[in-house]
């Protein structure tokens, strides 16, 4: 079976930049100088999935998503 690789994706319209996600998941999320999340280039490894899921469910705006790394989408990263 193919191993599924995940990455983070933020809806920049919904995100209000309070930075909760970076506190919950500093392994992959940092904040830019304005307080909006920036993701590390590294995929979210399986051992980090629980932390990543917690960050997505705790985001007060539900702006943070965990998607398959090879899934295509539009703008926004």
Partner 1 sequence: MPAFRPLPNGGRLGPAAVRSWWPKGAEGEPASAKDAVLLARTPHLVLDGATAAAAALGACRVVAYVPEHLVPGVRRAVAERARHGLDPVPIEVVGAPSAFLAGQEAAVVSALNGGPPMPTFQGLVPIRRRGVQGRPTLVHNVETLAHLALVARFGAAWFRQVGTERAPGTVLLTVSGRSPSPVVIETPLGSRAGEVLGLSNEEATQYAGALVGGYGGTWVPIEAMVDLELSPEGARRHDAVLGPGVVVLLGKRTCPLAEVARVVRFLEAQSAGQCGPCIHGVAGLAATLGALAWAPATLRRGPEELVELASLVEGRGACRHPDGVARFVTSACEVFADEVARHLRTGLCPLAAAPGTLPLPRPLARPAGVAW
- Helix (H), strand (E) at residue 54: helix 49-58
Closest CA to 57 of 32, 17, 25, 12: 25
Residues paired with 44 in a beta bridge? 6
Task: Tell me the Ramachandran region of residue 36: left when phi exceeds 0, alpha when psi lies from -120 to 50, beta otherwise.
Answer: beta
Asked whether position 41 contacts partner 1 by CB under 8 A, the answer is: no
Query: Which of partner 1, ligand SF4, none lies near 26, with the C-beta cut-off 5 to 8 A by kind?
Result: none
Q: Is 73 in the site for partner 1 (CB under 8 A)?
A: yes
Task: Compute the least distance from the CB of residue 12 to partner 1, in Å.
Answer: 4
Query: At closest approach, how far in Å is the CB of 38 from partner 1?
Result: 8
Query: What residues make contact with partner 1 under the rule CB under 8 A?
Result: 9, 11-17, 32-36, 65, 67, 72-77
């Amino acid at each position: 079976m193919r191993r599924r690789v995940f990455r983070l994706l933020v809806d920049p319209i919904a995100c209000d930049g309070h930075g909760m996600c970076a506190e919950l998941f500093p392994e992959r999320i940092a904040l830019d100088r304005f307080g909006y999340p920036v993701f590390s280039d590294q995929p979210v490894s399986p051992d980090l999935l629980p932390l990543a899921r917690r960050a997505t469910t705790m985001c007060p705006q539900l702006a943070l998503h965990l998607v398959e790394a090879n899934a295509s989408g539009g703008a926004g990263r």
